[in-house]
Structure formats: C-alpha cells, structure tokens
Amino acid sequence: MLRTALLAALCLLAWAPPAPAQQRVVAYITGWTTPPEIAAAKLTHINFAFGKIDATGQVVLPHAGIPSQLAHLRSLKQKNPQLKILLSVGGWEAEGFSDAALSAESRAKFARSVVALLREHSLDGVDLDWEYPGQSVAGIKSRPEDKQNFTALLREMRAQLGDRYLLTIASADREYFDFTEMDRVHVYLDWINVMSYDFFNSLTPTTGHHAGLYASEFAAPRDRNADASVRQHLAAGIPAEKIVLGVAFYGRGFAGVAPLHHGLNQAYERFEAAHPYSELVEKFINRDGFVREWDVKAQAPFLWNAQKRAFITYDDPQSIAIKAQYVREHHLGGMMFWELSQDSSGALLDAIVQGR
C-alpha cells in the first residue's frame, strides 16, 4: 500500500496539464443517436456517452454495439488527426459513483477499469458526468462524504491516467458547488464542461430561458444563467482556460403558460417536451402559430404561441454566436454542446466554429 501511495504521489508531482487548446469544440455524441455523418474537421473533441458503472464499481460499456461505434469515431481521425475521442461515464440517473468513490480501494479499482477501457479501445481520455455528488435528485445513491470522495476519486484518476490521457468532468452551478470541492478538483482536470443549460425544466416553477446567457428582465433573483455559472466557476479559482461553456442543441417546451410577457418567466400547467433544434426548425420556428421572439437582456431566443399558450426555450445560431464571442472575450477554454444528432443541418455547430 505504501509503495502504491508513493507511486501515485510521484505521478501527481510529475503531471502538469498540457497547454490548453485554444477554443475547444467538444461534442457529446450518444450511443443511441450517433449520426452517420460527422463533420470531424469542425470538432476538437468528442465525448461518447455513456459508459456505465457496474455492480462491482468498474466502468463498462453497456451494450455490445459500442465497440464498433467507438471504432467509427476513431476513424474520423483520418479526416482530422488532431481529434480526440473521450469516453463519458455517467449521465442523468446513472448509479454507482458514490460507491465507486467511497474508499481508496474502490477508487483505485474504478480508475484501473477506466484505464483498461481507454487502452482497449484506443481512446484519448475520460469525461466523468456524475449528476450529482452529494445529491439524490435523480434517485441515485449519495452520501455527505461524496464531497471529499469526489476530490479523492479525481486525484486517483489523475495518478493512474498520468499525462497520456485526458481527464474532464461535466459540472453544474449553484448547489453543485456546495457538494463538491471545485476549488481543489480542477488541479486534476484538463478542463471542465460546464452544463450551462437546463436552467428551466420540468422541475422549475416557471418558464424561462433554459440556456440563457444572462438573466431575463423578468427573472427572479435566484434564477440561473450561463454568465452567473461561469462567474461561480471563476470565483472558485478555476482558470478561465479550463472552463468550457456548454450550449444546448435542443429546446424545452411548456404548455398552459400564463400569457404575460409572451410566456417568459410565467407559471405553466405542464412541461410539454424536449425538442431537438432540427425539429424546432422543421415544425415550430415561425410555424403553426409559434413566433420567434428575442430577449435582448438575456441574449436568447424563445417561441411563443399565443393561441395555444405554449412556450419553447432554446439556443439558435444567433444566441450561440453571441456565446462564442463571450467565450473569446472572457478567455474561456472553448464550447461544448449536447448533442450532435440534434443539429442535422449543422447550423448550430457552424455558429460555434465560425465564432472561434
């Protein structure tokens, strides 16, 4: 045990994050919606979602078709040799993190299983999407000790990954910082994918911009937005170049919305659905009574259907171009999005690439 601990400490002392890639373009691609055509030259990194944690605390690929999907993604390096492929582990309702992070032995076992998968499938790194340490909002197991154990897990991961593999996480804001040690964990990470979307969803009491850059004029004081999330990360001492701003390639719809302010920041009767951007273009934007509105203060679009009292919040090329400018002006590390198949025309990806 002592020899293992000494080796881990030496690895950490020897490791230093590589010079940050300027303006990363990080695409999440899922195993259930992998597009047949991927514009590899427009991406710097692909996070393949998701690896899962099994009952023994090891990371596994959840179905037999994933190796061929990973091989397809690796083949994109023929078009873009600089492209990096990472395995993203976890996701919404993904169980197993709290147990895996619980002890030195479980953390080492988890990390070994990750390294084995990266070697077996010739991948470039791993992205951990624990939603969320210390919280059971998705019905997953959590413990108060998750706060310190998450730090210890990332320390162990870095020790075993060394400088050969990338290590990133998906982060949130507000209470996420209450249950993590973000001022400490970033030293083990190459960068952090900030999930600056889903600010308004089926669990929030009103409508609002689910991916707004700034607060709406009608927002409540505690409502969330991307700028506030970035500022919270910076306040924790996270270097700007390690912060990758997340944008949404989908919208969220609400029904039975109170009509004031075209439905913005209003009470609603029910959450209607999530809609890929491609579907919004085909069926909703300035169609069938849905009128595109623009919130100058929030720098975000939304759709309002007065007759149906329906409201849809989303990102579009205009809002994403403004976010790309924000990333440049604040010297952030790039942009991430969920997820590629939801933008079949490539309009949103182009807005990111053209704004780099």
Q: How far is CA 207 from each of CA 180, 204, 284, rounded to the nearest angstrom?
A: 28, 7, 18
Structure tokens at 101: 């992070």
Residue-level pLDDT at 6: 45
State CA 302 to chain mean position distance: 22
Three-class secondary structure of residue 337 per DSSP: strand
Decide: 94 and 52 in contact? Cβ < 8 Å: yes
Residue whose tokens read 């037999």 = 64
Residue-level pLDDT at 22: 64
Decide: 276 and 284 in contact? Cβ < 8 Å: no
Q: Which of 93, 95, 131, 175 is an active site residue?
A: 131
Residue-level pLDDT at 14: 44
Global pTM reads 0.94
| 37/31 Cα distance (integer angstroms) | 14
| 130/261 Cα distance (integer angstroms) | 36
State CA 224 to chain mean position distance: 16
181 is catalytic: no
DSSP 292-324: EEEETTTTEEEEEETTTTEEEE---HHHHHHHH
Average confidence (pLDDT) per 10 residues, the chain, 356 residues: 44 47 88 92 98 98 96 98 98 97 98 98 98 95 98 98 98 98 98 98 97 98 97 98 98 98 98 98 98 98 98 98 98 98 97 95
Decide: 199 and 208 in contact? Cβ < 8 Å: yes
Q: How far is CA 20 from each of CA 24, 155, 210, 241, 319, rounded to the nearest angstrom?
A: 9, 20, 29, 7, 25
Residue-level pLDDT at 36: 82
Apex 327 CA angle, 322 and 252, nearest 5: 55
Residue-level pLDDT at 11: 46
